Chains A and B, each alone.
Chain A
């Protein structure tokens, strides 16, 4: 059986990436892009983690959702099982990333870009597992990708590389559900998504119950003409995680909508980093993030909108709000605009406040006990983002998650 090292272009790209990583090393607070990152300490303290060699590990079926959906189950980085339903079977191609390399063994360099980012370079150099998913038409049912990690990867590092291609005129909802039963692992997941002309992808992520590992999820999304990408990340009970996305709006009428809610307490932390590149005329981006921070938790949001000089008629919007429930918690917000075109509409706003006392009094003056009133306000605050989700089923799913999280 061929291994990825047999594919010359991949071997060269990996070697190049390794050199880049070796030159830079792990990120530190001195790097502006990583200044507030919760990953720094873990990475500095765990430089010598053994690399996990993917294996056929067992599936945890308990976490399967009970509504009808197409399933992809990835255990410790390796695709273990797929289950596609009805006509959707003919609209999907799935294989491992290695198989994809073998069949497309030229022009792979775009999957190995972002060389300035040390952790992406490390992933490019070390990833030996992951999936290739191609969506060829409108899907009837959503896809759920179950990313499962178990104790076999305790105190190891795992690098996973995925490529998702959405063909022209296709629509799909892809829900990624992460389950971690492992400890002290560094997991790096690098996903390239190409959204071809006039396609629409909704990418929702459940980021919960992971306080024992260090996770870096990096996505690079290329969006073609009249196509759009909508993403929502729901984060709760998480620690030492960075969710990063770089989006290229490459052609006219390309759009992206990024939504985030996070509820952090105790000593939890979560970092969100967004870079949106408007690279063509008439493109639109929208970022809306709301965070509730409590205890000694720390939230970070870095969001940059870049507008190329040819990207006239750009519409870029960014709103970052956080409510701090304790005196010890922190939220770091860094909104940035870099604009080289002159006919654009870009706005950014960021606010961090404590819980609104007038709102609390109003609810309590209606007989609602303080704890319940606070819960209603927090739920309402986060739900405003969830309400933006355009897939009705997932909107209801995450509204319920929000309610359950607070009850």
Chain B
């Protein structure tokens, strides 16, 4: 599904990712854990196609190097980034945004676009599963949403767009236990043999709900250890200091 080879990312003189390598197979769930400033969020932005970075290397997605592609084309090909801090956009209403997004992706895939009636029925169905009220769908995008509402909204978008690779950037931050469970249930419902996940987090608690196949420890822009889900539990006890020292 995804193969990152010798990815180097910098901003000005500052190197953020250095010779970064990662392979994610079809249907696999990978978690990346690491201390603040280790480059986790940058990795998610670079995978999603954000401008402003000097990028070198290969990002092979479904056997195509997407490193030069803009963000919209990557999303249309099936990459979804659930933002750590979803952006508030005043005046852009949820329903309009979701319909535009869904139809842009469908159009790129050569599928039939949905009309208003089909869309409303679909979005309400998905929203209900995530405990999102209809009223929220009539509001401006993320404006005035609580932390929990924003994260649920990210999962709603993910469930509508049905990506092949979902990157969750600290989706657990700012969530209380109940909201965390709702979000995790939403993600688990999307797990399938054809969909891969990359979960970026500081803490093990999200991984109690979404069981990863692999856990990677990332320090100073590179992966320093890979293990199974038990590694997350270990990290919770010993922290990242040991890995930072090693570097």
Q: Interface residues, chain A, CB within 8 Å of chain B?
A: 357-359, 361-370, 372-373, 376-377, 379-384, 387
Contact = CB atoms under 8 A, between A and B. Distances in A.
B143 to A, nearest CB: 10
B101 A366 contact: yes
B92 A368 contact: no
A372 B81 contact: no
Contact of B92 (A361, A365, A376): A376
A18 B56 CA distance: 72
A135 to B, nearest CB: 33
Contacts of B141: 380
Nearest to B89: A359
A364 B71 contact: yes
A236 to B, nearest CB: 17
8 contacts: A362-B87, A363-B101, A365-B75, A366-B101, A367-B72, A376-B96, A379-B92, A380-B92
Given A373-B72, A376-B92, A380-B91, A365 B161 contact: no
Interface residues of B, number: 32
A25 to B, nearest CB: 44
Contacts of B96: 376
A376 B108 contact: no
Nearest to B88: A359
Contact of A368 (B86, B91, B104): B104
A369 B91 CA distance: 19
Interface stretch (B30-38, B43-51, B190-198): B43-51
Secondary structure class of chain A's binding surface, majority of residues: helix
Contact of B51 (A361, A379, A380, A383): A361
Interface string B76-102: 100011010011011111001100110
Contact of B91 (A363, A365, A387): A387
Nearest to A378: B91
A387 B80 CA distance: 31
A364 B90 contact: no
Interface of B: 48-52, 70-72, 74-76, 80-81, 83, 86-87, 89-93, 96-97, 100-101, 104-105, 108, 140-141, 157, 161
Contacts of B89: 359, 362-363, 376-377, 380
Nearest to B92: A380
B161 A384 contact: no
A365 B90 CA distance: 18
Contacts of A357: 51-52
Given A361-B51, A376-B97, A368 B140 contact: no
Contacts of A364: 49, 70-72, 75
Contacts of B87: 358-359, 361-362
B91 A382 contact: yes
A367 B91 contact: no
Contacts of A365: 48-50, 71-72, 74-75, 80-81, 83
Given A364-B49, A367-B76, A369-B104, 8 more contacts: A365-B72, A365-B83, A367-B75, A367-B101, A369-B72, A372-B104, A379-B92, A380-B92
A361 B169 CA distance: 15
Nearest to B98: A366
Contacts of B52: 357
A363 B75 CA distance: 10
A-B pairs with lowest CB-CB distance, top 6: A380-B91, A380-B92, A367-B75, A364-B71, A366-B101, A367-B105
A366 B157 contact: yes
A363 B105 CA distance: 12
